Amino acid sequence: MLSLFSTPESQNYLPLDGTVHYYPTFLSISEANHFQRIFEESIPWESDVVHLFGKTIPMRRKMAWFADGQRRYTYSGSAKFVNPWTDELLELKNRLEKHLNLTFNGCLLNYYHDGADGMGWHADDEKSIQPNSCIASISLGASRNFDFKHRQTGQKVRIPLLHGSLLVMQGETQQHWLHALPKSLKVQVPRVNLTFRQMV
């Protein structure tokens, strides 16, 4: 697996078929601490669920969906309840939009209690997301590895996501690459992840 943690943030981290940029210090440590504390305490977290063989199975990981209007987000056969933007989410959304010169109309938040929570291989390619649009991911809390795997070649890329960092996926990334947050029993503290999205 290729690790690109030392690659300059202005460079595309994927070797082909997509675009990923990483900004390890998008937020200062004090800012990241501030937002993490607020989100952990004030977000209306719900247990995520998956549907397997006709059964609804609650996951340990928690999530919350925020969006303009009534833009619903559905994945794994489950539609997420739409929350109105909070002041803190709007503050980060405005900073992102200025930084990337783009606009976002939704944000999925995930809460990982510790390294026992993770995400398997998947792509953010649901029909409700604009094709080839930008997904901007802010990490707060525990540093976790984030892996990419090319659908055809199997080539892998690993990026350690730090507290206060920003990962930006654009272009054909979701078409050609899967990504995952592997579990790690060494991680004993929580992580909050915000993925700002461009919804249909």
User: Which residue's structure tokens are 């030392």?
Assistant: 6
**Is residue 14's pLDDT more than 70?**
yes
Q: What string of DSSP letters covers the chain?
A: -EE-TTS-TTS-SSSSSSEEEEETTSS-HHHHHHHHHHHHHHS--EEEEEEETTEEEEEEEEEEEEESTT--EEETTEEEPEEPPPHHHHHHHHHHHHHHT----EEEEEEE-STT--EEEE----TTBPTT--EEEEEEES-EEEEEEETTT--EEEEEEPTT-EEEEETTHHHHEEEEE---TT--S-EEEEEEE-B-
Which CATH number among 3.30.1490.100, 1.20.140.10, 2.60.120.590, 3.30.70.580 corresponds to the domain 2-197?
2.60.120.590
- Greater confidence (185 vs 49) lies with 185
User: Which pLDDT score, from 0 to 100, does residue 33 have?
Assistant: 98
**Is residue 2's pLDDT more than 60?**
no
Q: Model confidence at 56, in pLDDT bands (50, 70, 90)?
A: confident
**Least confident window among 63-77, 110-124, 127-141:** 63-77
Task: Give mean pLDDT, residues 95-123.
Answer: 96
Task: Give mean pLDDT, residues 44-57.
Answer: 78
Task: Give mean pLDDT, residues 20-42.
Answer: 97
Supply the pTM of this predicted model. 0.90
pLDDT in tens, 69-102: 876 666 656 667 899 999 999 999 999 999 999 9
Summary mean pLDDT of the chain: 91
Residue extents of the structural domains in the chain: 2-197
Q: Model confidence at 152, in pLDDT bands (50, 70, 90)?
A: very high
User: Which pLDDT score, from 0 to 100, does residue 127 have?
Assistant: 87
User: Which pLDDT score, from 0 to 100, does residue 49 have?
Assistant: 72
Task: Give mean pLDDT, residues 112-122.
Answer: 96
What share of the chain has pLDDT > 90, as a percent? 78
